[in-house]
Amino acid sequence: MIKESIFIAKKRLELYEFLSFSFLNTPSEELLNLIKDNSSQFEELTEDKIDSIEEKDLDYFIQEYYDRFFVPTSKLFVPPHESAIRNKDIKNGKISYGKLDSQETFHVKACYEIVDFKIDQLNAFKPLKDNHYPDHIAFELAFLVYLANSELLALENGMSEKANKWRKLQKDFLVEHLSKWIEDYAILSKERGEGLYSYLTNISAKWIALDLEYLMGENQ
pLDDT 10s digits, 57-81: 999 999 999 999 999 999 999 999 9
Q: pLDDT tens-digit profile of 88-116?
A: 998 888 899 999 989 999 999 999 999 99
Sort 114 into a burial class: Cβ within 10 Å, 0-12 / 13-18 / 19+.
exposed
For the chain, the helix, strand and coil percentages under 3-state DSSP, each to the nearest 5: 70, 5, 25
Which of 204 and 91 is assigned the larger pLDDT?
204
Which of 55 and 213 is assigned the larger pLDDT?
213
Q: 167 CB contacts (<8 Å, ≥6 apart)?
A: 151, 215, 218
The DSSP secondary-structure symbol of 96 reads: E
Q: pLDDT tens-digit profile of 129-151?
A: 998 899 999 999 999 999 999 99
Of the pLDDT bands very low, low, confident and very high (cuts 50, 70, 90), residue 219 is low
Q: 2 CB contacts (<8 Å, ≥6 apart)?
A: 155, 158, 160
Q: How many residues can be counted in the chain?
A: 220
User: Rounded to whole angstroms, what are the CA distances from 9 to 59, 156, 160?
Assistant: 35, 10, 12
The DSSP secondary-structure symbol of 89 reads: E
User: Which H helix or E strand runs over 95?
Assistant: strand 94-96
Domain 2-218 of CATH type 1.10.3720.10:
no
Q: 1 CB contacts (<8 Å, ≥6 apart)?
A: none
Other Cβ atoms less than 10 A from the Cβ of 140: the count is: 26
Q: Is the pLDDT of residue 196 over 80?
A: yes
Q: If DSSP codes are grouped into helix, strand and coil, which group holds residue 34?
A: helix
